[in-house]
Structures are given as C-alpha cells and as structure tokens.
Chain A
Amino acid sequence: MELSRYPLIKGVLKSRWPQWAFFAVLLAMFLFAIFAGIGGTPVGNHNFGIVFVWIAWWAILILVAVPLFGRGWCAVCPIPVPGEWLQRGAVLDPPPINKQGSKGRWLNLRWPNKLRNIWLQNTSFLLVALFSSVILTTPLVTAIVLAAMLFLAVGMSLVFERRSFCRYLCPVGGFIGLYAQAAPLELRTKDKSVCVRCEGKPCYNGSQAGYGCPWQVFPGGLTKNTYCGLCMECLRTCPHDNIAINIRPFSADLSKPSARLDEAYKAFIMLGSAIIYAAVLLGPWGSLKSAAYQVGSAAWLIYTTVFLAVILLALPGAFWLMVRSSSYLSHLRQKSQSIVRRNTSPRSDFSRLATALIPLGLAFWTAFSLSFVLTNGSYILMTLSDPLGWGWNIFGTAQTAWQPVLTFILAPLQSLVLVGGFAWSARTAQKNAAEIALSPAPVIGFCLGVTLLMLWLLL
C-alpha cells in the first residue's frame, strides 16, 4: 500500500520543517546528554545521559522504530546533522546553485572503494560492544562516546562526500540497516523505467528542489532497505513524482538474500552480542559482570578474547558447518534424483543463508531489551525531573521510587518473541535454501540451538 499517495502524508514528508523540528529537539537532547555525562552525577541510573540514551532511546529504537519503521531513526538522527549543515552550507533548502553546482563544500572526497562495505561498521560496533558494560553504566564514558560520534560525523562530512559516516562507520546504523530489511516500511520507485529515462538523475545528483541522496544510493536501483536512510530527499527532488513510501509485508527484503560477507557477519555480530549480553548483564554470574566491567584487567582480556572468539569464529564456524551439511545433504539427494543444482559458491551459500539470522537476531534483541526496559523504565520519570542529579524536581517526579513494571508478563512475552523469531527465521531459511536447492534442515537446526540457548539465558 502506497502511503505517499495520501496528500497529507506526502506533504508532511516533503516539507523540511517537521524533519527539521525533530533534528532540533533531538540534537538539543543529544548535546544535553553529553553535558549531563560530563557535568551531572556520576551515578548512572540518576543521570540523563545514561537513562535517556540507554533506556529510553534504546527502548524506542529496538522495540518500536527498527521493527516498524526500519531506518526511521536514521531519518531523524541528530548525530550527522551539524556536519551535514556545514557540508551543505545550508540548514534547510539547498542554497542557490553557484559555480560549485549542487556538489558539497569542503573537501568532498569520494569514500575509498576498498571501504565501500560495512566492515568498518562491524568493527565500530564490536568496539562499542567490548566496552559496553562501562559505556552503559558510566555517564562520563557515555558522554565521551557520544561526543566522539558527533566529532567523527562532523569531521567526515567535511572530508568525504555526503553522509559517509552514516553509511560506512556508524556503529548503530549498521545494525539498523540489517534489521530494516524486516520492517514493513519501504521507500521505492513507482516505475523503474521512468528512472532509466530521467535526465540528470536529480534524486542522486541533487537539484534546486533538494539534495542528492545523502546515503549515496540511486533510488532507481533500490531493492532493499539496507542502505536507504529514509531522509526523503529523493521524494523532494524527483521531478516525475516517481518515489513512493510503501507499507509492505514484514521481511519482504529477506527473500532477496545478500551474498555479501560483510552483511552476513553483521548478522552474526548482532546475534552473538545479544546472547553474550543476556549472559553477562542479565545472568546471575557476578564474575562475568566483573570481567566485563574491569576494562584492562586480565579478566577483561579473557572476556574480550572469548567475546570475539564466540562472535567472529564460533558462531560463524558452526553456521559454516551447517551450510556445508546442507550442501552435502542436497548433494546426496540430487545424486539419487539426478537433479542439477544451481552453481553457487560455498561463500555465497553461507552469506545468503545467514539472512535467516536477521529475524532471530531482532527477536533476541527485543527479548533482551524488554527485560531491562520494563525493569528500569521508572528511572525515566526520576531523571526527567532531575536530569543531572543535582537535587532538582522540575516535574515533581524526582522522588519516584525504582519500581519494575509488568515483570509478571516478562517471561511469557519473551517466550513469545523468541519462538516467533525462531519460526520467522526458520521459514526464511526454508525459502532461501530452496532458492539455491539446498536442504534447510541444518540451518534450522542452528537457529533452534541458539534459540534454546537464549531461552535458557532469559527465562
């Protein structure tokens, strides 16, 4: 169903003001979170920086924004905004075209070809994940991380073209892009042949009506949500009214599996991190928590080694074995039935079938997040009134006692999410394996194994 055919919705999406208003409010909150981290109380659960970033924002992101709107958060994220304003030399509409044309200001270099993948995003996420116990609980460290992201985004906007930070480096953008494939919202062209004939391609190159795609994507070639930031620039620039925002079935993109290893590894990184976080942060093992928190200690080095080994070697290794088993089983079947299988490489099979881990990963993160959001949500009221822990009581809620909510439905809810995620993943594996004439059984077995592990950790 095309949402943008409704004039009201289309008007709101095309206008720069609503998006700008989001930017302004969220940028102010972002800067305040940095300030709170530096100048506020060092007690994490009484500090705006920790509570609003890691409880409120995270809950909205993982429980609502990503599953329903895909990259909807990227459309209003404040981090790249100051850099983008500087790069464009404008805050709203494009400035009149001068000798520079619609190209960006400053150095405007092209992002290196060798780095045109998400390996850097995988690395930046792993870096944040390794220090997550400290980042999630220490306001000053959260402030440093947020400020570093802001400076990196600004710096990259001044050196590289468009939103290179969002596209190639942001640790959050990588996993949002991965899970956006499962979302029921998409931006697509209405008729690809119109794009083929279109002169000047203003959606990519920009025009007086708007900027060229900041995400470096040509909308005419869009088949998946992964790299479309839903910024709506193409909706503004398309002279043929050929851009549509559609509601679609969940996981529509998952039937077009990627053969890219960087994207496959992103699925393993997210799946493995959710499992390890569930064990470390929600488990009853104090020594694990200490190891994760005491950065630089021998215990932390062991934790780091195990963390990386599980995520980068054990999980992909086990999955590789499953994919090879799929291939072997199919080979046996084809021999007995004289069928010729489509010729695909083991690496391509591995990456394509890893797409099945996307719904499972999303379910793992949802179940994990439910646990600490329902438990710690009451800190939001407290921090709203006293964001810096300075004894203020702005809205009269500063004395709100810590009170977990709905904990009696937590386990049933998590069970439902995990079983649903497993069924969704298994079905995806089944469809994608059939496309390349492989047996889905070993991959479904892998999904079953990790789901049972997550159930044991959470229930």
Chain B
Amino acid sequence: MGKHWLFLISLAVVGAGIALLPLPFSSPRPAEKTIRVEASQYAFTPGEIRVNPGDRVTLELVSTDVVHGLYIDAYDLSVQADPGEKASLNFTADRRGAFRIRCNVTCGAMHPFMIGRLYVGPNTMLYRTAGLTVLAAFALLVVSRNSHLQRESGR
C-alpha cells in the first residue's frame, strides 16, 4: 500500500512537472519580421511560418490565382488579397504556441482545408502532451508488471 501511494504521488509530481515547468528553450529578443506568403489553390507557401514570441510580424499575402484570405486561429486576425495583389497583416506575436492559418474566402472546392501553420516560439503544447503520453505509457507498464508479479506470487 505504501509503495502504491509513493508511485502515485511520484507520478503526479512528474506529470505536474511536465505540464507546468518552464521548458529549456532560449527566448530570442523580439524583432521586426516580414514574411511573404503566397496563396494558391489550396495551399499557403510557406505552409509553416515560424516567429519568436514578441516579434512584430508583417505577413504579406500574395494570391497567385483566385481571391484568397488568411485567418489566424486564436489571434482572430485576417486579411484578403486579390489575384496578383499584395495585402499586409501586421500583428505582435504575443500568444505563444502553434496556430492554424486558414483561407477565409471561398476559393474553390477544397477551400475549407486550405490550411497552414504559424508557430510562435516552440510548440510547447506538443512537447508537454507528448511527455504526458509517454508518462502514461510508463505508468501503465509499471502497473501491468506489478499486477503480473502479484498474479505469479498468488499461484
């Protein structure tokens, strides 16, 4: 019983650590960043945009075929560009994490799936969740091994 509780408490402590402790990533000083994003049916190029937290970002959206838009999840910001023209979206990258960018003008059949990604700093949500998943696997393997040993000793 004592070992059982010790294991559970250790698990909770490690889990809380993975979920909450700061991760060892360096934080570069905020800078001005201008990124050209080409939109065409049904992709953004580049598909993945990486900036640092605090960066003052200008996204220059250029559409190469029909009218396209660019909407950033969670930031709730958007811009639209006519074919061949450039439209700019300025914002400060003050929310950390990974966000989907989406076309917000109906541009063809696959429009709802015209998606890209914006990374503001490292994708800590992914690392933390992956860590918790590995911890869950470890815990279950330990539980499995212990119950196996108990069954064997009971024979």
Interface residues, chain A, with chain B CB atoms under 8 Å away: 43-46, 133-134, 137-138, 280-287, 289-290, 293, 337, 339, 371-372, 375-376, 402, 404, 407-408, 410-412, 415, 418-419, 422-423, 426-427, 430, 433-434, 440-441, 444-445, 447-448, 451-452, 455-456, 459
Contact = CB atoms under 8 A, between A and B. Distances in A.
A372 B136 contact: no
A21 to B, nearest CB: 32
Contacts of A434: 144, 147-148, 151
Contacts of B110: 133, 137, 289, 293
A440 B152 CA distance: 16
Interface stretch (B26-34, B86-94, B98-106): B98-106
B140 A44 contact: no
Given A285-B43, A293-B109, A444 B126 contact: no
A141 B132 CA distance: 42
B134 interface: yes
Given A407-B73, A411-B97, A448 B137 contact: yes
B133 A43 contact: no
Given A285-B43, A285-B47, A404-B73, A419 B106 contact: no
Nearest to A333: B148
Interface of B: 40, 42-45, 47-48, 71, 73-74, 76, 97-100, 102, 104, 106, 109-117, 123, 125-126, 129-130, 132-134, 136-137, 140-141, 143-144, 147-148, 151-152
A423 B115 contact: no
**Chain B binding surface SS class:** mixed
Contacts of A452: 130, 133
7 contacts: A137-B111, A375-B102, A407-B73, A407-B100, A410-B73, A423-B140, A444-B137
Given A408-B73, A415-B129, 5 more contacts: A280-B113, A284-B117, A440-B141, A440-B144, A459-B123
A285 B47 CA distance: 7
Contacts, number: 130
Given A43-B106, A402-B104, A284 B74 contact: no
B45 to A, nearest CB: 7
Contacts of B104: 402
Contacts of A287: 43
A388 B52 CA distance: 45
Contact of A455 (B42, B114, B126, B151): B126
A282 B113 contact: yes
B118 to A, nearest CB: 10
A448 B42 contact: no
Q: Which of B97, B113, B117, B152 counts the most A-chain CB atoms under 10 A from its CB? A: B113
Contact of B112 (A137, A411, A459): A137
A341 to B, nearest CB: 13
A404 B152 CA distance: 55
Nearest to B101: A284
A444 B140 contact: yes
Q: Which of A138, A337, A423 counts the most B-chain CB atoms under 10 A from its CB? A: A423
